[in-house]
Amino acid sequence: NSDIIVTKKRDNYLEWPDYFMAVAFLSAQRSKDPSSQVGACIVNQDNKIVGIGYNGMPNGCDDDLLPWSRCAENKLDTKYPYVCHAELNAIMNKNSADVKGCSMYVALFPCNECAKLIIQAGLKEVIYLSDKYHHTPEMTASRRLLSMAGVHFRQYQPKTTEIVINFNSINGLGTANGTIQ
């Protein structure tokens, strides 16, 4: 019968790795850091998100009273002694008993301090997008620690350069299938 219309599923949907990295990047948009917005997303073996975080000042600390500078004569006038990294926040914000055996998707390769947290929390894998600080001592120490502890790490290879979120698409406005470009 030629009157039957067959509807097929979409083939341009987000695959799991793209979805989780996009969640990390969306979370990063909450960061108030003027120079680096980093997000992290922790996922369990069932592809369920169990923790999300972004870089920012500790809870209860007024981020208007703390510095956001990258450099100053006195290190206490920079953000570094104060800011919590996305990885720490994702682990602390976990919504499960623990994150043992989980994977973390994160925008930047984790520093040595975050590597220690990742190891102690029992994460098994880190998937990162950028390794722009690769040659710093902190990243060398991080790779050494993660390797010794058996935590796998790999660079994420995106299938696309951007994912557009169109709030109008639910109402049929804009392009319905234009979410991935």
Residues that constitute the known binding site: 85, 111, 114
Neighbours of 1 (CB within 10 A): 3
Q: Which of 34, 52, 139, 138 is nearest to 89 (CA)?
A: 52
Tell me whether residue 162 is one of the annotated catalytic residues: no
- Active-site position among 87, 125, 138, 162: 87
What span, in angstroms and rounded, lies between the C-alpha atoms of 70 and 30? 19
45, two tokens:
């073996």
Neighbours of 6 (CB within 10 A): 4
Cα dihedral sign, 150-152-153-154: positive
Q: Which of 123, 106, 114 is nearest to 23 (CA)?
A: 106
Binding residues for Zn(2+): 85, 111, 114
Q: What is the dihedral of CA 21, 70, 83, 22, to 10 degrees?
A: -10
Cα dihedral sign, 58-59-62-68: positive
Catalytic sites, residue numbers: 87
